[in-house]
Each structure stands twice: as structure tokens, then as C-alpha cells.
Chains A and B, each alone.
Chain A
Amino acid sequence: MARAVTNSRKTINTIASWAVGLLIFFPILWTILTSFKTEAQAINDPPIWFFFDWTLENYSVVQGRSDYMRHLWNSIIIAGGSTVIGTIIAVPAAWAMAFIPSRRTKDILLWMLSTKMLPAVGVLYPIYLIFIELNLLDTRTGLVIVLMLIDLPIIVWMLYTYFREIPGEILEAARMDGATLRDEILYVLTPMALPGIASTILLNVILAWNEAFWTLNLTAANAAPLTAFIASYSSPEGLFFAKLSAASVMAIAPILILGWFSQKQLVRGLTFGAVK
């Protein structure tokens, strides 16, 4: 017998959900609020909530001092480029693993995932030296390569789980219909797996956008993305919270907006494989 959900139950659930949501969102909310305060009010104790002198001076200082647009452009190219190239490499790989698995396939997948357990700092020196040799330091190309390699395991894994959901018989039907391997992947597999591919791309763009370790260590003036932009505001001269907040908001705004508009897609993608 189905249990009736009472109205009071629903109210409690709603309040609880909002509370948890606000709790998680709080740091970002605080940053946004702080970015509109003056420096003095930013470090006020006790902290001021809404009733301060709202000002845009932080934003104008930040914009004047460093080139936001260049950093933004670098972030877009690095995050976008590494994800797109990674996806192009991962689709055939995931296809092979999903539809023609061998005895070693599971091992390979787990090994790929294990590379993500490696502390990045352990390979910083070798990569840095290689980059110097190849003239890739402080270039967008270099960062695209590194981030692509870092995210490749995740992209392959996610595509693998989505491809497994596709009935193999449909691809066999395509083969019987005269499709070559290229036709099969292009006209049948990709359109059918599009939601999964879209979710994978979205998630990886976000991961690459937020990637701080490599972007900070391998870039200087030319290829610095928004992560370096924020970092430049936590300097030895002292922490300017208001300006730091403004810089942070400008750095995360694009990805927050992207995430907001694609949240349904993201949730669907992340939970897709979970329900059988």
C-alpha cells in the first residue's frame, strides 16, 4: 500500500532541501556579497551581511589592473580545447571497450582511473623539464595537452558507461545495412549517445576550467587562464578580500552561468548509469 505523503512532510522536506542548498551555496554567496563591499567593510568583525555601502569600485580596479578578457579567452581555449580533443580521442576508445571488450578491458579501465590517484606534484618536475625542452612553457598548446591527458581517463570512463547502455544489436543492424565503422560511429552511435556525450563534455569543461595546479605552475604571462587571475590577487602584500572576491566572481561567473543553464543535463548525465 502506498504511503501518503502528507503536506507537513512536504513542507519539512522543502525547508530541509533549501537549508542544505543554502549551506552549500553559502561560500559563493559570501564571495559575491563581499565583492561589492569596500575593503574596510569586507574585514569587519562581526561580518556585515546585506546592509553595507554597495560599490563597484573593486570590479573596476580589478579590471583596470589586469587583463580579464585575455585570461577569460585563455580559460575558454584551454578548457574547451582539452575537452574537445579529449572527446575525439575517447569516443573510438570507449567504443572499442564497450562493444568489443577483451579480457583485459576492465584492467585497462581501472589502470586509467588509477592514474588520477597520482599526486600531480610528484610529476611536476619531469613535466616542467619536458615543457622547457619542447618550448611549451607558458603556451596554451602545452596546457591543452596536459589537461587533455589528465581528463582523458574520466572522459573514457564516462563514455564507456554511456555506450554500454546502447543495445549492441542496433550497431549490428547498421553493419548489416552496409555501414562502415566510420558510418556506424557517426550516424548511429553518436546521435544515440548524444545526451551522454554532452554531459561528459560539460563535466570535463568544468573540471578543466577549475584546474589550478597545472595552470598555475606551467603558465606565466601569455597563457595564464582565470585560475592564475585569481591567484594573482592573493599576494604577499596582504589580502585584499574585497578585490579578491571581485576577481573570484569574475573568474567563476562564466562557468556558474554555464552550469546553471545545463544543470538538467549535468544531473541526468551524472546519474544516468546509476539506474538500471
Chain B
Amino acid sequence: MGQIVLNQVQKKFGEVEVIPPLDLTIEDGEFAVFVGPSGCGKSTLLRLIAGLEDITAGSIQIDGKESSDMPPARRGLAMVFQSYALYPHMTVRKNIAFPLRMAKLDRAEIDKRVANAAQVLNLTDYLDRRPGQLSGGQRQRVAIGRAIVREPAAFLFDEPLSNLDAALRVGMRLEISELHSRLATTMVYVTHDQVEAMTMADKIVVLNAGVIEQVGSPLELYHSPRNRFVAGFIGSPKMNFIEGESAASRGAHTIGIRPEHISVSESEGEWSGVVGVSEHLGSDTFFHIQDTGLAETITVRADGEVGYQHGDRIKLSPRTDMIHKFDPQGLRIA
């Protein structure tokens, strides 16, 4: 029902090609996340699906129907904006009811659906307030309520959690994931935060300058990144990339090893270095090691609290089964 197919979709702004011809299929009921650095075209892609921008070439099918020329109102989608985009002159109730009013449903049906959505999102006590009287999290829920009430073929989220504080973000992440389980509707979610992507997605689409670098499940992208870009984008802190002797001896131009796959010891290890900055979180410790001869800094994650100090000489041992190999073009070598 909510399948979205993009066929050779291209977008140009004047002469500038922002998205080269691109193919993508999002299955019905999937939670797909578009992720990538700022300016990579993920929001533009979302807006093309929504119909807020016209595609320069190619076609989009939503729910089996050719939708490339349809205005946003007719595509059967609902969108949650980064800035919530609530109607400031209407109460919460009227905000949520607005799409139903536009669809010309009758009074009774509108009231029923609004009450339902308010209950699902814990907004029943706020129905008569204006957006200006709500907190950020509440406003976000009103925006989601306004989207749910339309019973769309798919939900589109444009960085919805960016404007919330960190604690709220974690809570809302769970709520959105729960919503997805409950409604089983297709969701397309745009974010630059790869933690959100990893925790919420069924399928992640990594974008770079309008080009899809890789599509896959979170763990696929974590374990088998197709190229250096994806390898460096997924995972926090970033993967360490090493060129030169250590890479050549393993038959690659560049090797990559994640911070969590290197162990530290005072006595034994293949590589050695000097501890620079260390970050102590209590649950983990991150060391930034200098003077390794491998790369400018090697980042290492250690479990729990490990007490090496600035200036200590230590040895590093990478897990050999977790080393990623890349050729001179940055593509993965199996």
C-alpha cells in the first residue's frame, strides 16, 4: 500500500544538478532513513517525494500510482517538519483537525479522529491551547498528530528531532519507533544524526552530494560498508583510516578499523603510540592516540573506566577480523 518507487529521479536547480539520476525502492511498511552530511540532498529528496519540489526528470510511484505530476495534497502523504510548522493562530484541536477539514470530512468523523490521535500522543489535556503555549516536545507531538490523523500511505519526517534538547530527543526517538510498530505504515525519515539512523531504521540510505552511496540495514552498513565514505559516516566515533605500510602488508591501499575494535595494553600490541586527549564517560573511555606513525590520530574505545594518562606510551592491537580494506578509489575489497 505504501510502497514508494523512485525511477531515475533527477533534480536540478537551474543549471546545478543537486541530485543525479537515482533509483530507490522503499517497501510498504518500511522505516527508511535518509542520512548524510549537510547539503547532501536528503531533504531535497524528501521534498521531491512529498511533491513540494518538482522533479527535473524521472518518475515517482507512490502506492503503485504514477505521482510525479501530482500536487502534494493528492499524493496521500503526511509530513512532519523540522520546525513543526504548526498553525500559530489555531488551537491544537484545530491544528490536528485541519487536514480533515481540507478533506471535507463531516464534523463527527473529524472529532472522533482528533480525539483518537490526541489520546495516542497524550495531547488530550492540551487540545484547547495554542502552539505558542506548548513546549518543544508537545509541539512536535501535535505535528505528528496532524500527520497521523490523515491515515496516509506514508509518513515523511524532515529532521523532526533537531530542534529538541538531547534528553527529549532520546525519548521522542523511542516514541516514533513505537508509533511505527503500532501503525505499520511506511516512514521516510531524514536526519544527519547517524545514531538516530542506526536505532530507528529498517533500511538506511546513505547520501553524499546527491548520490546514493549505499542502501542497507543498519548492521549491514556497520559491518560491510561499500566504500570509505559510508565506513567513515556510520559509527561514532569515526572509523580510523590507515594508509601506508600497515595497509600494504594486508593487501590494501587503505585499511579501516573502528575505535571499538582496538584494544589497548601497556605491554603488547602491533602498533604503539602516545596517549593524547582522553574522554572519560564512565561507561566508556575514548583515547586519542598520537605518534603512531599510522595516521594523525588513532581513536580507541575502551570499556568502562581505563586510567591511562596524557603522555603514557601504550600499545594497540586491532581485531584482525574487524579490519576493513579499501582500494585506491576508496571501494571495499572483500
Contact = CB atoms under 8 A, between A and B. Distances in A.
A169 to B, nearest CB: 4
A177 B89 contact: no
Interface string A101-123: 00000000000000000000000
B98 A177 contact: yes
Given A169-B81, A169-B83, A183-B102, A176 B72 contact: yes
B106 to A, nearest CB: 16
B225 to A, nearest CB: 34
A173 to B, nearest CB: 4
B87 interface: yes
B170 interface: no
25 contacts: A169-B82, A169-B83, A169-B85, A170-B85, A170-B86, A170-B87, A172-B85, A173-B81, A173-B86, A173-B87, A174-B87, A175-B71, A175-B72, A175-B73, A176-B50, A176-B72, A176-B73, A177-B99, A177-B146, A177-B150, A178-B102, A180-B73, A183-B102, A187-B98, A192-B87
A188 interface: yes
Contacts of A176: 50, 52, 72-73, 77-79
Residue among A172, A180, A183 with max Cβ neighbours from chain B (10 Å)? A172
A172 B85 CA distance: 8
B132 interface: no
B88 interface: yes
A52 to B, nearest CB: 53
A188 B89 CA distance: 8
Interface in B54-87: 71-73, 77-79, 81-83, 85-87
Interface of A: 167, 169-170, 172-180, 183, 187-188, 191-192, 194
Contacts of A169: 81-83, 85
- Secondary structure of the A contact surface, majority rule: helix
A179 B83 contact: no
Residue among B52, B102, B146 with max Cβ neighbours from chain A (10 Å)? B102
Q: List the 4 closest pairs (A to B, CB-CB), nearest first.
A: A178-B102, A177-B99, A173-B85, A169-B85
A175 B102 CA distance: 10
B217 to A, nearest CB: 29
B60 to A, nearest CB: 15
Given A169-B81, A173-B79, A178 B87 contact: no
A177 B142 CA distance: 14
A122 to B, nearest CB: 41
B168 interface: no
Contact of A175 (B52, B86, B103, B146): B52
A172 to B, nearest CB: 5
Contact of A179 (B50, B73, B78, B150): B73
B99 A172 contact: no
Interface in B79-117: 79, 81-83, 85-89, 98-99, 102-103
Nearest to A103: B14
Nearest to B143: A173
A180 B71 CA distance: 9
A103 to B, nearest CB: 10
B103 A172 contact: no
Given A172-B85, A173-B85, A188-B87, A178 B50 contact: no
B92 to A, nearest CB: 14
A176 B75 CA distance: 9
B93 to A, nearest CB: 15
A221 to B, nearest CB: 47
Given A191-B89, A194-B89, 4 more contacts: A167-B85, A170-B87, A173-B81, A177-B99
Nearest to A190: B89
Contacts of A177: 73, 78, 98-99, 102, 146, 150
